[in-house]
Amino acid sequence: MKRTIITSLLALCFVLGSFTMLQAQESTKEPIWESIMLVPDNTKLKTLGENMRKHNMKYHTEGAFKSFVYNIATGPNTGKIVWMMGPLQYPDLDTRPAEGGHDEDWRDNIMPYVKSLEQGEYWKEITKWSNTGMLAGDNFVYSILYTRYWVVEPGHGFGVDAHLSMASETIKAMPGVHPWGVYDNEFRQGNIGRHLATVSFHKNWQDFDTGWPFRETFDKVHGENAWNNFVRNRDATFSDWWDEIWVYDKNLSGD
């Protein structure tokens, strides 16, 4: 009897292990973005901008290494710059620009005008929840990003799927064009949090004056009685969340 139980457990472990490996293989197909937050020397912004433009136009104009630069416009990080590269896959990093003057150019023409680098991160898009297909290649038209960071309460990760699934179903059902992305922070950073990020993409500031018909659509999709459970699950699942507005800087990007 014990041998039968052990054999069954081994078989179950093999199945679960194979399933986990399959999930890992499939997850690598999700687009990944590398992002770095730069704290600029505000007395040298002109030189930093000129040099970053030259660097990005020389080394980061296409494919997995294409760069995007955003200025943070709200919150405690206001005035900082986000330098982003992608979408990519991890094997792309093995062939990223390094030799041929890239690293030297970054060292000599970018770093002297930056006080510090913060939040070096890799964000993987969770496409099953995202609605970024609505961007239709017009990423630069949607130049304002409403970024919300989420901190998952320890031991409550099971609630993430329910919350984001319901939010995703609601946003996808809203009338009009509402690009929205869900991103997982690939590498944890201790007490800093920032486990997940959701991003809504906007063409201009006027969009914020109209808002999204989220609650109205939620009631239609899930029923009015589902709202309180949705909120309770959110409050139990996440210990904190906060917003930042990012504004795309085409002049500094590899575009």
SS3 84: strand
Question: Domain for residue 154, yes or no?
Answer: yes
What does DSSP assign to residue 153? Answer: P
Each residue of 76-98: pLDDT tens digit?
999 999 999 999 999 999 999 88
**How far apart, in whole angstroms, are the C-alpha atoms of residue 205 and residue 67?**
23
pLDDT for res 80: 97
Question: Domain for residue 18, yes or no?
Answer: no
pLDDT for res 43: 96
pLDDT for res 110: 97
**Angle at the Cα of 20 from the Cα atoms of 15 and 24, rounded to 5 degrees:** 145
Which of the residue ranges 22-31, 51-60, 192-201 would you say has the lowest mean pLDDT? Answer: 22-31
- ω into residue 76 within 30 of 0, thus cis? no
Question: Domain for residue 26, yes or no?
Answer: no
Question: Domain for residue 131, yes or no?
Answer: yes
CATH of the domain at 127: 3.30.70.100
What is the secondary structure of 21-44 as a DSSP string?
Answer: HHHHHHHTTS-EEEEEEEEE-GGG
193 pLDDT band, cuts 50/70/90, is confident
pLDDT for res 69: 96
pLDDT for res 138: 60
User: What element of type H or E holds 118?
Assistant: strand 114-125
Count how many domains the chain has: 1
When pLDDT is averaged across residues 224-252 and rounded to a whole number, the result is 95
- Which structural domain, as residue segments, surrounds residue 144? 31-248
Question: Domain for residue 195, yes or no?
Answer: yes
**How far apart, in whole angstroms, are the C-alpha atoms of residue 99 and residue 96?**
9
Each residue of 63-72: pLDDT tens digit?
999 999 999 9
SS3 147: strand
Average of per-residue pLDDT values in the chain: 87
Residue 128: alpha-carbon gap to chain centroid: 14
SS3 121: strand
Q: Phi and psi at residue 222, in whole multiples of 5°?
A: -110, -15
**How far apart, in whole angstroms, are the C-alpha atoms of residue 249 and residue 232?**
38
**How far apart, in whole angstroms, are the C-alpha atoms of residue 130 and residue 182?**
5
User: What element of type H or E holds 104?
Assistant: helix 102-109
The dihedral formed by the CA atoms of 200, 206, 208 and 211, expressed in degrees to the nearest 10: -90
Question: Domain for residue 60, yes or no?
Answer: yes
The dihedral formed by the CA atoms of 58, 62, 67 and 69, expressed in degrees to the nearest 10: 90
4 pLDDT band, cuts 50/70/90, is very low
Question: Domain for residue 11, yes or no?
Answer: no
pLDDT for res 18: 37
Question: Domain for residue 19, yes or no?
Answer: no
